[in-house]
Amino acid sequence: MNEDQSTPPAQNQNPRRWLERIAQVLSGEPRDRNDLLEVLRDAHDRGLMDADGLAMIEGVLHVSEMQARDIMIPRSQVTVLPRDMPPRDMLPTVVRTGYSRFPVTGESRDDVIGIMLAKDMLRCFMEEGEGFRIREVLRPPMFIPESKRLDALLKQFREARNHMSIVVDEYGGLAGIVTIEDVIEQIVGDIDDEHDYNEDTAILTHDDGSSVVKALTPVEDFNEHFGLELPDNEFDTIGGLVAGRLGHVPRRDEVLELDGLTLRVVRADKRRVHLLKVSRADQTDAAAPAADKRN
């Protein structure tokens, strides 16, 4: 090859491009996501943005980094309805849980054949009584892998006009479920309704042994669940204790090692921490932080 046809590196450089890069550095414009977050937080500190607005923008940015496995209701916590269960026997479960949607299973718990809306079931049951056939009202299920990114999942929810997805593991079995509300909560925070939050769901354990803990969980309950003896005379809640140990209001992804446990902040704002992911200190935390879960 003729060496004369190769252009020296210096001649390939566009002077305008170099000037633009130098100008960007000197202007202090954000060069990556962390820089952008710092700019937004500085705007909040100067009163140009309120705390709720900042929290939502941060939520939008974080959603693109999270996967379905991070926020799904794990298999053990999913309420399913067997296809062959008599409609009358389903009613107590529907009424007791207050959920609006239920995965319906076939031969096994891993065999999800559809989604049943409580309103469809109740309407048909009132019209047809014991002659009601559940297959007539089933909606097709939407299956997604555990690695599905939340921003892509939200778009899929909108396009399919669906509100619930079935998360499957590598073998095609039921790993958990994710609702559109779960994804939106990562942006706007908890959306509470009359069926949300009670003492029984303050600590939710995943199949991998890690747990998602609401920061308002009393230290006494946290100790009882994890077999610890953390002091509860200074802070009433585990969120308050974490903030006290760190010496400041925790930010998302901050980690605290505490009596053999690793506590990772999943959600927090300028005022307090909301959610923690708890795992054993020797347990590999390969996944991104988990989040508050509800059916």
Rounded to the nearest 10 degrees, the angle between the axes of helix 180-188 and helix 51-63 is: 130
Interstrand relation of 101-105 and 81-82 (parallel, antiparallel or unpaired): parallel
Neighbours of 199 (CB within 10 A): 9
pLDDT tens digit sequence for 82-94: 988 887 888 888 8
Tell whether 34 is covered by a domain. Answer: no
Q: For residue 155, what is the domain's CATH number?
A: 3.10.580.10
pLDDT tens digit sequence for 189-238: 766 543 444 444 578 777 777 888 888 889 999 999 999 989 888 888 89
Tell whether 264 is covered by a domain. Answer: yes
Tell whether 215 is covered by a domain. Answer: yes
Among 146, 181, 216, the domain boundary falls at 181
Say if residue 228 is in the same domain as residue 262.
yes
Say if residue 225 is in the same domain as residue 249.
yes
Among 142, 157, 181, the domain boundary falls at 181
Q: Could you give the number of structural domains in the chain?
A: 2
pLDDT for position 128: 66
Tell whether 14 is covered by a domain. Answer: no
* 196: CB partners within 8 A, 6+ apart: 190, 294
Say if residue 168 is in the same domain as residue 240.
no
Nearest of 183, 175, 196, 204 to residue 75 by alpha carbon: 175
Task: List the domain range (segments joined by +) for residue 129.
Answer: 73-181
Q: For residue 209, what is the domain's CATH number?
A: 3.30.465.10
Supply 26's token pair. Answer: 């000197």
pLDDT for position 115: 93
Residues of the chain with confidence (pLDDT) below 50: 1-13, 22, 25-26, 193-200, 284-295
